[in-house]
Amino acid sequence: MNLKERAAAKALTYIKSGMVLGLGTGSTTAYFVDMLGEKVSSGELTDILGIPTSKETAEHAAKWGIEITTLSKHPRIDIAIDGADEVDPTLNLIKGLGRALLREKIVEIHAEKFIVIVDASKMVSRLGTRDALPIEILPFEAEAHIHWLNALGCRAELWLEDDGSLAITDNGNYLSKCWFEEGIPDAYNLAQKLSTRPGIIEHGLFLDMATEIIIAKEGGVEVQKRKKTNSGV
């Protein structure tokens, strides 16, 4: 069992029959959906409802027979399970390199518990030091949004597919990747600027949202809990 699978297996121990679950997007969460699906198929877990954060996750869960629902029907989620691209010492996150950051944030702010599953490589001293910050932007005047992002002290580019075409989200928007040479000095300040800029649909800073981080390491699995929970950004 690899590290991602170990983290996913630990997350599965939190799940009980009758729960409404937020189902994240990405390779680590895919392991969790497989393990959850096996429990549902065997009858070990019953009456599980899933709210997926992407079309990909919805299709994956449906193949296992996991019943899909919506926030309009179930606005209270018991637990959301998702991965992260980076986790800092205060359990703030960068997410969205799986291209689903907007839907992830919408679903996960409705969760009583938001449990993040990662391997140890995702732990960083400062956000933005390991990976780019993904940002979902409006297609209208996309280059103008990129120009503005570059004025924030980062190198911003439109996210391109391998064939050179523009990456498109499930919502029909474009994506940008923003690289910070020395990481993000003030994630809260940056999140505020991004949240108030027309044309910036959503950003990959998930601040004060995670309640627990499950970290799979070579020596075992560690769980870190947030000391206090504030409103998400």
Which residues are annotated as catalytic? 104
How far is Cα 145 from Cα 118, in angstroms, rounded to an integer?
Answer: 31
Pure H helices in the chain: 3-12, 27-42, 55-63, 101-108, 142-150, 187-195
For residues 57, 61, 62, 67, the Cα torsion angle rounded to the nearest 10 degrees is -120
Q: Is 175 in contact with 159 (CB distance < 8 Å)?
A: yes
Task: Residue 98: name the closest of 69, 70, 37, 56 by CA.
Answer: 56
